[in-house]
Amino acid sequence: MGFTIFRAAATILVCLLLLFLFLVPSRYLDRVADEAETLIDEAQDALSHNDHAAAHARCLRLVEMSKTHMPALERFLNHADVDTLAGSFAVAEAAVRIGDNGAAIEALTEALTMLDRVRGIEHFSPNSLL
């Protein structure tokens, strides 16, 4: 009897935990990804106007963001993906610093692709199911 109750309680806890894991990490990822995408768009826009100071400021914020949020993201995303994302921010920042617009835009585009990829992993879609 005791074990049956324990198992029923465990099953309920498992359901709650799964519900938590379905909701919380994806919301957190959304928040971080939205913020990163805005910064990337702004940096790309600034680079297209040759505004290196603004682009550098955005890239620095991206690097800072990666340091703040990446440990949390690594709890539910593949570490290699998160490292690639953080690496793209760092490359973009370094490229803007030395004035290499082409490399910076390439790194930022790669970061956008990686953000799409991790969103695709975390968010449910019939395509990702297959």
Residue (53 or 80) nearer to other proteins, CB:
80
Contacts with 99 (C-beta within 8 Å, 6 or more apart), sequence order = 52
- Note the residues at the interface with other proteins (CB under 8 A): 3, 7, 10-11, 14-15, 17-18, 21, 25, 74-80
CB of 10 to other proteins, least distance (A): 5
For 123, half-sphere exposure in the C-beta direction (CA atoms, 13 angstrom radius) is 12
CB of 88 to other proteins, least distance (A): 17
CA dihedral 35, 84, 114, 93 (to 10 degrees): 50
Residue (15 or 31) nearer to other proteins, CB:
15
Rounded CA-CA distance 109/130 in Å is 26
Residue (27 or 79) nearer to other proteins, CB:
79
State how far Cα 58 lies from the chain centre: 16
CB of 122 to other proteins, least distance (A): 11
CB of 7 to other proteins, least distance (A): 5
